[in-house]
Amino acid sequence: VEVHLGRDEVVQALRDDARAGLTASPRWMRPKWLYDERGSELFDRITRLPEYYPTRTERAILLERAGEIVRLTGADTLVELGSGTSEKTRILLEALDAAGLLRRFEALDVSEQTLRDAAFAILASHPGITVRAVVGDFERHLPLLAGHGVRLVVFLGGTIGNLLPDERALLLRGVRQILGARDAFLLGVDLVKDPAEIDAAYNDSQGLTAEFNLNLLLILNRELGADFDLAGFEHREVYDTVHEWVELSLVSRREQHVRVAALDLELDFAAGEAIYTEISARFRPQGITAELAAAGLRVVQMWTDSGGAFALTLAVPDDLSPGSA
């Protein structure tokens, strides 16, 4: 386990973001701040909700295609970005192991305890391999994942959709830079579909997504001495059909004053005023191919489920690209 994000550094980054985002108009926070230990646990529960189709759909594709992915990549090292519990990743680990290839697993996540638990659990079920858990930010620490074997880098769950288009482009270029000529990249993204299905996935009947979203305020209260009243804010989800992304926000139920002690910041919220907390983009196959190509990655194969809800794309470094390592 390597910690590349020390506690002080994390708190400083949170302070910087909170100062910039909470005083902006409209107000915003980055989605990575949703994942303290409780946030990771809430997300894990969301993945089991009947309305939240992405996880089970991606799992179904992985179960169907793992053998093909193993044959196409021949990887001995699996590297996972934003790994969380790595639950679906086990399907790939098992397929690589069954083929006698698997030697190493590396996972990168900002959520330290969840990452540790996942890494130890995987080591317990694959005692013969090396497991490296890197506590870090995939927007900053990808170079730490360079080197070692024939690698398959995976970024699952549609987490890339939580980044803005410019941030996505940077991340994909970063991935390209850590890939050697024999390495490959497997990307999971959710596809454009009936907005009603998307709305349901982010407005579940048990209110878990609302809890996940509101947890941000608990984090700000705990880490920055803020005094957000959770009952004063409401979870809101809007599917923006122009950008083809979900926008999650926390909307002030009334006019209210919030103090953020650690920043010596006084915030006045109007009734109905929002803090934007997360976007979650849907994709189209041509868009995925184009974004990968712009980063110097060539699509080898794209798989979807029978309902066309979710896509897994396998890409490799494009020799013709100027970004070649």
Q: Which is nearer to ligand AVI, 28 or 43 (CB)?
A: 43
Task: Look at residue 278 and give the partner it binds from ligand SAH, ligand AVI, none, a contact being a CB closer than 5 to 8 Å depending on partner kind.
Answer: ligand AVI
Instruction: Out of 156, 160, 186, 201, name the contact with ligand SAH by CB under 6 A.
Output: 156
Cα–Cα dist 123/108, whole Å: 15
Q: Which is nearer to ligand SAH, 159 or 213 (CB)?
A: 159
159 binds ligand SAH (CB under 6 A): yes
Cα–Cα dist 151/73, whole Å: 8
Q: HSE of 178 in the Cβ direction (CA atoms, 13 Å)?
A: 24
Q: Which of residues 45-64 bind ligand AVI (CB under 6 A)?
A: 46, 54
278 binds ligand AVI (CB under 6 A): yes
Q: Which is nearer to ligand SAH, 108 or 220 (CB)?
A: 108
Q: How many chain residues interact with ligand SAH (CB under 6 A)?
A: 21
249 binds ligand AVI (CB under 6 A): no
Instruction: Out of 62, 280, 292, 295, name the contact with ligand AVI by CB under 6 A.
Output: 280
Q: Which is nearer to ligand SAH, 252 or 280 (CB)?
A: 280
Of the candidate spans 39-47, 218-226, 294-302, 308-316, the one that interacts with ligand SAH by CB under 6 A turns out to be: 39-47
Instruction: Out of 40, 73, 114, 209, name the contact with ligand AVI by CB under 6 A.
Output: 209
313 binds ligand SAH (CB under 6 A): no
SS3 labels along the chain: CEECCCHHHHHHHHHHHHHHHHCCCCEECCHHHHCCHHHHHHHHHHCCCCCCHHHHHHHHHHHHHHHHHHHHHCCCEEEEECCCCCCCHHHHHHHHHHCCCCCEEEEEECCHHHHHHHHHHHHHHCCCCEEEEEECCCCCCHHHHCCCCCEEEEECCCHHHHCCHHHHHHHHHHHHHHCCCCCEEEEEEEECCCHHHHHHHCCCCCCHHHHHHHHHHHHHHHHHCECCCHHHEEEEEEEECCCCEEEEEEEECCCEEEEEHHHCEEEEECCCCEEEEEEEECECHHHHHHHHHHCCEEEEEEEECCCCCEEEEEEEECCCCCCCC
Q: Which of residues 152-171 bind ligand AVI (CB under 6 A)?
A: 157-159, 161-162
Q: Which is nearer to ligand SAH, 139 or 199 (CB)?
A: 139
Q: How many chain residues interact with ligand AVI (CB under 6 A)?
A: 13
40 binds ligand AVI (CB under 6 A): no
Q: Which residue's beta carbon is nearest to the bound ligand SAH? A: 157
Strand partners, 247: 238, 279
Task: Look at residue 252 and give the partner it binds from ligand SAH, ligand AVI, none, a contact being a CB closer than 5 to 8 Å depending on partner kind.
Answer: none
Instruction: Out of 14, 28, 43, 187, name the contact with ligand SAH by CB under 6 A.
Output: 43
82 binds ligand SAH (CB under 6 A): yes
Cα–Cα dist 228/269, whole Å: 11
Distance in Å, CB of 179 to ligand SAH, minimum? 18
Positions touching ligand SAH (CB under 6 A) are: 32, 35, 40, 43, 47, 55, 82-84, 88, 108-111, 114, 137-139, 156-157, 159
